[in-house]
Homo-oligomer: A and B are copies of this chain.
Amino acid sequence: MVPKQKARRQKAPAPRADGELRAGILPTLIGYRLRLAQQAIFRDFAEHVPWLSPGRAGMLILVEANPGVTQSRLARAMSLDRSTMVGLVDVLEERGLLERRRGEDRRTNSLWLTRGGRQLLARVKRRIAEHEARVGSRLAAPERAQLMSLLDKLR
């Protein structure tokens, strides 16, 4: 029989001098570090690209690169459910950024940027370029390339 561990009341350890919490195993985990890095980048994005969330900006970029794409194809490309895409398209259509047109296969909607959508997206892309330069400036150029390749391996 394995010796039973003595039951002991939990006790608070001496608090750390700097007032920070002990982080346990969290900093050893790739997913945790990834999340912190991403939060920092999303914070910068939200601050400097105030018109759209990263996801919605990404969606406009995909529609621009694939004019006339159907909702379902776009949903698949973004790993979203078809029903989730409906609300996303609703919002961007109400804001006058894109429009649905009846597809040749009449079950489908094809998606097209409006003039306003193209104009906003041009501005957004300039801001994103600045955002990317600012974020990327924390790394040397070869480091940036290295990071991209390492991130790819995690997929």
Point out residues on A near B: beta carbons under 8 Å. 10-13, 20-26, 28-42, 45, 54, 58, 61-62, 64-69, 73-74, 77, 79, 110, 112-113, 125, 128, 132, 135-136, 138-139, 143-144, 146-148, 150-155
Contacts and interface: CB of A to CB of B under 8 A. Distances in A.
A93 to B, nearest CB: 16
B39 A30 contact: no
A26 B139 contact: no
Contact of A65 (B11, B24, B39, B112): B24
A30 B41 contact: yes
A45 to B, nearest CB: 6
| Protomer copies | 2
Contacts of A77: 20-21
28 contacts: A10-B67, A10-B68, A10-B112, A10-B113, A12-B67, A12-B68, A13-B67, A21-B62, A21-B65, A22-B62, A22-B66, A24-B61, A24-B65, A28-B132, A30-B136, A31-B132, A31-B135, A32-B58, A33-B148, A33-B151, A34-B34, A34-B37, A34-B151, A37-B152, A40-B154, A139-B153, A143-B150, A143-B153
B152 A33 contact: yes
